[in-house]
Structure 1
Amino acid sequence: MSDDRPTAVAFPGPPESWLASLRALLRDVRGESPAEADIRAQVSERLDADADGADADQYLDFLAAIDVLERTDAAPSLGPYGRDFLDSHDERVLFEALTANVAGVRALVEVLAIRPVTDIEAAELLSREVDADIDDAEAYRGWLQALGYAEYDDGVIDMTTKGRRLVDSDSELSDGAASRLPSRRASEAADAAVDAVDSAAEGSASGEATSEATTAAPETTPAEPSATETKQPADADDASALAAHHDHRCMVCGDKRWQAPEEGYAEIHYLMPPDEPHGGPTEADNAVVVCPNHRADFEHGLIRIDPQSLTVEHAYEADVSGRTLRTVEGHDPGAQYLAYHNDVIADF
C-alpha cells in the first residue's frame, strides 16, 4: 500500500543553512503578516528562485504539508510546528513534524541507527517505504543534516552522535531500529559458533591451542576460509589479481606471505561481508588485501580504518594502531564500506 504522505523536498543552499532560513521566514510571517504574494516573493528572493515563483510555491507547499505553515487565500500563518519551533528553537520540533508528516523519514533514521548507508541504498529504502520511485535521497539526507542528526561524505550517510542520542531517547525509534536487527544478530551468533568449532578443530589437529598460535601467521601454509562463509569473488581470478596488484602485501602491516618459494600469498577480506544479512558486493571497492592474521582481526571486529584518513586502529597491536592503510594505484577501499565495517563489524 502506498503512503499518501508527501516525500521530502530539498531546498537551495547547504543543509547547514536551512534552519536559519526557515527561522527568518517564520519570523517574517509572524511579525509582518505578509500577503500570500508578498511571502512568495520574499521566499523567491531568499532562495534565488526562478522568476515564476515555482520553487517558492514548492517550498511553501512542503512547509504547509508538515504543519509548519498554514496557507490561506488571505495570508500565510504559522502552523503548530512552526510556532513551537520559532518559540523553542528546538530542532526536535521539526524532526517530529517530519516524521509525522513525511513518508520514509522514520525508516531512514532507523536504518542509520544500525549502520551508515550510501545514497543509492537510501534511495532504494525510501522507494520501498513510500511505494514510489525515489531517485535521490538528497532531500531526506539534507533535512537530517540540517537538524544535526546525520553527516554526509563521499556518498555515505552516517548518523552523528547527536542523532544516536535522539534514537536512544526515543523508544519508538529505538524499537524500530531494533526490529531490523534480529537477522544480523542471529547471523553473528552463528558465525561465532562456526569460529569456535573451527578453532577447536585447528587446535586438535595441531595439538596446540596457545594464544601465540592465534596471533602468529603461518609462513608457508595459509589458513583456509570456512566453507560456510562467502569470502571470495564469484571469479576466483579476481581475488588473485587484486592480491597480485598489491604484490601480496598486507594493507595493514605490509608483510608479504609465501605459499611457494617464488609465489606470494595474501587473502581478500570484504568489509561489508557478501553473506546474509549484510549482502555486500564482491568488488574491489569492498575489499582489502591482508595477511591471514589481519584478515582474522577484520572478521572478529578488532580493526577499524578511518574512511577519510585511512588511519588504522587496532584493538591490541600498538605497533599497528596509528599506521595508514597501505594502498596502491588503482585500488582504494570505498569509504562507505570502511564506514560500514567500523559501525557494524568492529567491536572494541
Structure 2
Amino acid sequence: MSDDRPTAVALPGPPESWLASLRTLLRDVRGKSPSEDDVRAWLEEHTEGDTDANVDRYLDFLAAIDVLDGGDTPPSLGPYGRDFLDSHDEGVLFETLAANVAGVRALVEVLAIRPITDIEAAELLSRELDAEIEDASAYRGWLRALGYAEYDEGVIDLTTKGRRLVDSDAELSDGAASRLPSTRASEAADAAANESDDEPTAGEEATPGTAASSSETTETARSTAETNPPDMDASTLTARHDYRCMVCGDRRRQAPEEGYAEVHYLMPPDEDHGGPTDADNAVVVCPNHRADFEHGLIRVDPQSLTVEHAYETDVSGRTLRTVEGHALGAQYLAYHNDVVADF
C-alpha cells in the first residue's frame, strides 16, 4: 500500500546552508508579513532565478511539513516554523519531517544499523513508499542539514549527533533493532532461490587490471543483500573467486591441485571496528595483499573499484576483480579508506 505523505524536497543550495536560509525566510515571514509574491520573489532570489515550478515545490513542501501555513494569504508561520524559529532546535524539524515525509524515519532506522550507499537508500525508499525512488539526495540532504548524517564517496552514515538522536528516540531504537536484518535476510533468501542454474562457474571472472564496465560497477555497488547468500563463509567465498586475489589476480596453491586465498574484512570484525563477517564486507586476496589491506596500504574507490597502492605502482590504477555472486558493499570500502588506510 502506498504512503500518501509527500516525499522529501531538497531546498536550494548545499545542505549546509538550508537551515540558515530557512531561518531568514521564517524571520521575514513573521516580522514583515510579506505577500505571497514577496515570498516567491525571496525564494527566486535565493535560488538564483529558479523556475516558478520549483518555487511552487518549495512552498508546497514547507506547507506540507507545517513550517509555513499553506492556507494563509499572505503566508504565515506554521506550528513547526514557529517552534524552530523560537528554539533554533533542529530536532523540531526532524520531528515534523519524520511525521510528515514518507520514508524519513525508515531511512534513519536503517542508518542506525550501518552506513548505506545512495543506491541502497533509493532501494529502501522505493520499498517503503511502494514507488520508484531513483534519487535519495533530498533525504540525505535534510539529514545532513540537521547534522544527523554525513556523506562521503556515495555512502551515507549517521554522525555522533544522529546516533544520539536514535538513542533518545524509543521508536527509532526499536525500528533500528528490527528493520534491516529481516529485510536483508528475506532479500538474500529470494536471491538465492531465484539464482539461475546456468550461473557462471567460479573460474569465470573479470580480467585483472582492466576497467569494469559501468553496468558491472553499478551492480557491485548495488544492495549486496540482492546477490550474496547469507551463509557464504570464507571457504565458499574463496572458491567462488577460484582462489584468485581480487587485487593482483594471483592464484596461490596449498597443494598441487588445490588453490589457496585468504579473506580480509574491510571493516574488521573486532571490538575496535565492529564490522560484520558478511560477504559484502569481504575481499578475497593473496597473503601479500591481505597484509597490505591490514596495514592500510591499499585503498579501493567504492564506485569505480579502482585500486590505489601505497608503493606497488603496477597495482595502482587496476580495477578490483569481481565475480558473479559476490557483491561488495561500497560502505565497507569507504570505511576502510577513511579509517584503516594510512597513506
How would you bin the TM-score normalised by the shorter chain? 0.5 to 0.7
Determine which of 312, 331, 337 is the counterpart of 1:336: 331
Other-structure match for 1:287: 283
Structure 2 CA distance for aligned equivalents of residues 308 and 40 of structure 1: 47
Other-structure match for 1:3: 3
For residue 169 of structure 1, what is the amino acid of its counterpart? S
Cα deviation, residue 324, structure 1: 6.8
Other-structure match for 1:191: none
For residue 330 of structure 1, what is the amino acid of its counterpart? R
Structure 2 CA distance for aligned equivalents of residues 181 and 132 of structure 1: 19
Q: Secondary structure at the match of 1:151?
A: strand
Structure 1 CA distance for aligned equivalents of residues 298 and 129 of structure 2: 31
Structure 2 CA distance for aligned equivalents of residues 5 and 243 of structure 1: 45
For residue 114 of structure 2, what is the amino acid of its counterpart? R
Cα deviation, residue 91, structure 1: 0.2
Other-structure match for 2:202: none
Cα deviation, residue 7, structure 1: 0.3
Other-structure match for 2:134: 135
Structure 2 CA distance for aligned equivalents of residues 15 and 91 of structure 1: 13
Other-structure match for 1:162: 161
Contact 2:261/2:284 (8 A) holds in 1: no
Cα deviation, residue 4, structure 1: 0.5
Q: Secondary structure at the match of 1:157?
A: strand
Distance 1:73 1:237, change over 3 A: closer
Q: Secondary structure at the match of 2:9?
A: coil
Aligned residues: 268
Q: Return 8-17 or 21-30, whichever deviates more.
A: 8-17
**Where in structure 2 are the equivalents of 1:101-250 lying within 5 Å?**
101-180=100-179, 229-231=232-234, 238-242=241-245, 245=248, 247=250
Q: Return 124-133 or 65-74, whichever deviates more.
A: 65-74
Q: Secondary structure at the match of 2:5?
A: coil
Contact 1:307/1:339 (8 A) holds in 2: no
Cα deviation, residue 340, structure 1: 6.7
Structure 1 CA distance for aligned equivalents of residues 265 and 58 of structure 2: 43
CA shift digits 1:249-270 (9 cap, x unpaired): xxxxxxxx76369x99432446
Distance 1:337 1:239, change over 3 A: farther
Distance 1:4 1:131, change over 3 A: same
Consecutive unaligned residues of structure 2, counting only runs of 5 or more, are 186-230, 269-275, 302-308, 321-327, 338-343
Contact 2:147/2:159 (8 A) holds in 1: yes
Structure 1 CA distance for aligned equivalents of residues 150 and 7 of structure 2: 20
Structure 2 CA distance for aligned equivalents of residues 11 and 130 of structure 1: 21
Structure 2 CA distance for aligned equivalents of residues 307 and 137 of structure 1: 30
Distance 1:330 1:176, change over 3 A: same
Cα deviation, residue 239, structure 1: 4.5
TM-score using structure 2 length: 0.66
Structure 2 CA distance for aligned equivalents of residues 235 and 309 of structure 1: 19
CA shift digits 1:147-181 (9 cap, x unpaired): 01000111100111110011001111101111236
Distance 1:182 1:11, change over 3 A: closer
Structure 2 CA distance for aligned equivalents of residues 337 and 10 of structure 1: 27
Q: Secondary structure at the match of 1:242?
A: coil
Structure 2 CA distance for aligned equivalents of residues 325 and 161 of structure 1: 34
Distance 1:185 1:60, change over 3 A: closer
Contact 1:19/1:146 (8 A) holds in 2: yes
Distance 1:44 1:181, change over 3 A: closer
Other-structure match for 2:37: 37
For residue 30 of structure 2, what is the amino acid of its counterpart? R
Cα deviation, residue 54, structure 1: 1.8
Contact 1:149/1:160 (8 A) holds in 2: yes
Question: Looking at both structures, which has the greater relative contact order when contacts are Cα pairs under 8 Å and sequence separation is at least 6?
Answer: 2
Consecutive unaligned residues of structure 1, counting only runs of 5 or more, are 187-227, 249-256, 311-322, 343-348
For residue 59 of structure 1, what is the amino acid of its counterpart? Y
Distance 1:123 1:328, change over 3 A: same
Other-structure match for 2:216: none
| 1:23 matches 2:18 | no
Other-structure match for 1:267: 262
Contact 1:272/1:280 (8 A) holds in 2: no
Structure 2 CA distance for aligned equivalents of residues 307 and 111 of structure 1: 29
For residue 289 of structure 1, what is the amino acid of its counterpart? V
Other-structure match for 1:66: 65
TM-score using structure 1 length: 0.65
Distance 1:338 1:293, change over 3 A: closer
Cα deviation, residue 86, structure 1: 0.3
For residue 123 of structure 1, what is the amino acid of its counterpart? A
Q: Which has the larger radius of gyration?
A: 1
Percent identity over paired residues: 67
Q: Return 70-79 or 128-137, whichever deviates more.
A: 70-79
For residue 56 of structure 2, what is the amino acid of its counterpart? D
